[in-house]
Structure 1
Amino acid sequence: MNTVLFLLVLSTLPQLVVPGAPHKASFRAVVEIVSGDSRIFSEESVRLKCSVSDNRSTWDYLWFRGSEKLPQRGEHFVLWRAHVKQSGKYYCQGVRDSVVGDIYTSQSLPVEINVDGGWAILQVPPLPTLVGESLEVTCRVRGTLQLRQVILYKDGVEVMRQNGLNPRFSLTHLTVADRGMYSCRASWDIGRRTHSVISVDTLLQVVEVLSEPILEIVTVGDLIPAKMMRLNCHHQYNAPAPAPPVHYYFFRNNMKLGTATSENHDLVRQTPGWYTCKVRVPELGLIRWSEPKSFGQETEPQMTKPPIHPRDPWTRAPLIHPRGPWTQAPPISSPDPSLPPASEPTAALLSPHPSTATPTFIQTTEASTPTSGPPSSQPEPSTVPSTAQSLNKTTIPETVDIMKESGDMPEDNVDMSGESGDMSGACGDMPEGSGDMCPDSP
């Protein structure tokens, strides 16, 4: 009898589950681009893939754009001949059957897809670039055109230009000052006209390998004993895997508290004074200090700046940047090499002088007009013929700007040193021979 009752209970367990209550698995789905790019022209396609790192179960996949659940299911998701309105952040989520109902993974981190209805796109890596690294950006133009000139802008100021068919720019030895909004202008000739287009702005992110730490003092908590406090040293560490280990040091009034630790926190007695923390990566020669923070009755920090260690990243020899007169501050000496800093020494970066040239149109004969930076955004293209004439009264070929701007897209314990618019309006003004550049309307 007891056996029968036991089997009866087991058979009714699935019915006792609360209807509609989702069951979460301890996995997170991962979405990636397997073909195409994160920024594409309208009428182009991109293919996404979703996966779950669980080889013991068979998963199906759900797809989302923002908060909207999409009708497509399966491992792959394809945006076929995409429209501008299909821009957005795409997520996926794994789901599988079980005796207690559907089990879901956590949603993936998003992949942002931008569908540009204009004529030019500046392709920039979506992930941040580390200080000191180099990267390549590409000015891509719709269709197959023989480019005449390509110009790169940063925050509206020209930083580089090149003639010919090569649409790529190499940015080397990047610094934090190189971070900003970048765009490109491309021009080409058809008949007796020069056409010029400009891309929308795209963010280029440049981050430090080791950011300046911030010290937090916590005096109240379940795991903090009476008359004790917790020192937390917060920072960002962006070294690629496998990342070398980080060492942490804590100080009160210039005196080191204990030995180096691999943990970014320490438990100390509540004592008035000025506290700092130091973060060090010995294998990379990186050292960063936090700003001092007071606790108790101290009014002014009795602290001095630390000596500059030869391996510190901000004390390298003066560097001439390939794209401008970028320099770094010389080493700073300190009277007492045993003392930690009152503040983080920083490099003195000098901004390059903005270009005074004003490129707008590129002429195809001797007569030319100065050029300027990117013009203000205009949703519709326009045709502007040139009226300049030479001394022998020969006619100058016309120059046309088919789109002012494309897109309106909706050691350890002792070391103290240390906008895309629809392109249909543009095609109406194109000269003969350019019909292959105007795809069908989305």
Structure 2
Amino acid sequence: MKPPPCFLQTVSVTMDMLISFLGLLTLPQLVVPQVVPYLTTLQAEVEIVSGESRIFTGESVHLRCSITDKHRSTWRYLWFKGSEELNTSGENYRLERARVKDSGKFYCQGVRDSLVGDIHTSKSLPVEITVDGGWAILQIPNHPTLVGNNLNVRCHVRGNPALHEVVLYKDGVEVMTQTVRKPDLYLTNLSVEDQGMYSCRASWDIERRTRSVISAEVPVQVLEVLSKPILEIATSINLLNKMKLICHVQYNAPAPAHPINYYFYKNNIRLGVATSENHDLVNQIPGQYSCKAKVPMLNLSRSSEPKSFGIVKGGQRQDSRFLWTPPVSSPDLSPPAATEPTAAQHSPDQSMAAPSFIQSTEVSIQPSDPFLNPSKPEPSPLLSTVLSHNQISINVPQESGDMSGDMSSDLAFTEQSVGTSE
């Protein structure tokens, strides 16, 4: 007996759907996985081999990419101008007969083959090339100058004519005039006040006429070798009753730099010994904290401004973690007789959450300048009545005066009768 035609048609449709489903399951195996490049900790470096960072139109500059690799691997080089990859792959890049539109920031990156695919270095720091279409350029070093150093600048004129006067300007004000035929000018013993926008004006004679041109302004940056430190006091729930003192400072000495030491102080008393790390972990004790950064080999030291931690009451600093003021009872309540006063217990709701950046320990201190203010819970009528006769005070021990800044954890709880006066 043959099956009906409708049954055969249903079976055929079901088989087609099953085959299509199996085909879809095999598609992910046919897709070629995308190759993700591997990055190394090495970083490429761009340097100017010939030419200047500021050139005239028609001039050239030669850049070189280098990678410090102790394994002496074979690298290929990628070049970028901004985010655009350039059509070159060699170690050297030459910008020939430059035009104004060729100005920009140039980067390079190293690539090499490996068994796991291409390995890339980090991109280099940029080298900015400025192509000027004018007649004069004030050429300065590419890096900032340090306080106390000398600075050589050059008023470069297109065609290099024989100059008879060069004038240097800072923020539009004349600061130096030179009548010799050399375009170089020297600024000695620089200070922070010497930084600003500089330009130059050059004059020369041609065909019994005097020509004078002025350059565009360029920034001159003068940095201190050691900046003024800024102290940060950081607390965290994970630190329990500790807090972290962090001394932020900018050390601009050229490599190899001499070592720098850090010192931390509480109320002008040094905490511990010098450390090569810019942070220290101390107990949370109210006081005036500060830090100092020192470079012994250069005889340089800078101190931060003092920063308060804790509250001030009656001229004495107290720790707000243990400061608790009992609530005052309402005058219309009659206090019941109590032979044994009940000691008040702190509610766990008294602890406050600290901000995300500067957090407190499990007993709350709000580390905001200049002082800290603890919160007080809403008293119950019964507790207020009992406390109107018995005030519980907590004596915070004085500082031990040692170098560590630790505070004793023993607290003396005393009960006093307050029946005489309020």
Q: TM-score, normalised by structure 1?
A: 0.62
User: Does structure 2 conserve the Cα–Cα contact (< 8 Å) formed by 1:121 and 1:141?
Assistant: yes
1:181-260 aligned at under 5 Å gives the runs: 181-220=197-236, 224-260=238-274
Provide the alpha-carbon RMSD of the alignment: 2.1
Q: Which residue of 1 aligns with 2:372?
A: none
User: Which structure has the highest strand share of the two?
Assistant: 2
2 CA distance for matches of 1:144 and 1:122?
13
Once the two structures are TM-superposed, the CA of residue 192 in structure 1 deviates from its matched residue by: 2.9
Q: After the TM superposition, which residues 32-181 of structure 1 pair with which residues of structure 2 at under 5 Å, given as runs?
A: 32-54=47-69, 55-181=71-197
2:311 match: secondary structure: coil
Structure 1 position 202, deviation (Å): 1.1
Q: Deviations over 1:62-108 (max 9, x none)?
A: 00011111111110111011111111110000011222222111101
Is the Cα–Cα contact under 8 Å of residues 86 and 115 in structure 1 kept in the other structure?
yes
Of residues 262, 265, 290, the one that matches 2:279 is 265
Out of 43, 61, 74, the position equivalent to 1:28 is 43
**In 1, Cα distance between the equivalents of 2:142 and 2:118?**
34
1:286 equivalent to 2:286? Answer no
The separation in 2 between residues aligned to 1:286 and 1:59, in whole angstroms, is 42
Q: CA deviation at 1:225?
A: 2.4
* Identity %, equivalent residues: 62
Corresponding residue for 2:288? 274
Code of the aligned partner of 1:43: G
Q: SS where residue 291 of structure 1 aligns?
A: coil
Aligned length: 287
After the TM superposition, which of the residue ranges 86-95 and 159-168 deviates more from structure 2?
Answer: 159-168
Amino acid at match of 2:142: P
Whole-angstrom distance in 2 between the partners of 1:45 and 1:178: 31
Q: Distance in 1 between matches of 2:227 and 2:243?
A: 24
Specify which structure has the bigger relative contact order, considering alpha-carbon pairs within 8 angstroms and separated by 6 or more residues. 1
How far apart, CA to CA, are the structure 1 residues paired with 2:270 and 2:190?
A: 35
Matched letter for residue 262 of structure 1: S
TM-score (norm 2): 0.65
Distance 1:128 1:280 in 2: 22
Asked if the contact 1:93/1:107 (under 8 Å) is kept, the reply is yes
The whole-number CA distance in structure 1 between the counterparts of 2:127 and 2:156 is 21
1:305-353: CA deviations, max 9, x gaps? xxxxxxxxxxxxxxxxxxxxxxxxxxxxxxxxxxxxxxxxxxxxxxxxx
Distance 1:41 1:229, change over 3 A: same
Stretches of structure 1 that go unaligned for 5 or more consecutive residues are 1-14, 303-413, 415-442
CA shift, 1:199, in A, is 0.5
SS in 1 for 2:297: helix
- Alpha-carbon distance in 1 for matches of 2:211, 2:90: 43
The unaligned stretches of length 5 or more in structure 2 are 1-29, 317-402, 404-422
> After superposition, what is the alpha-carbon deviation per residue over 1:126-149, rounded to whole angstroms, capped at 9, x for unaligned?
111111111211100000311121
Secondary structure at the counterpart of residue 166 of structure 2:
strand
Measure, in 2, the Cα distance between the counterparts of 1:192 and 1:239.
50
Q: If you compute each CA radius of gyration, which structure gives the higher value, 1 or 2?
A: 2
What is residue 348 of structure 2 aligned with on the other side?
A: none
In 1, the alpha carbon distance for the partners of 2:264 and 2:98 equals: 54
Find the residue that maps to 1:81 and give its secondary structure. Answer: coil
Aligned partner of residue 61 in structure 1, secondary structure:
strand
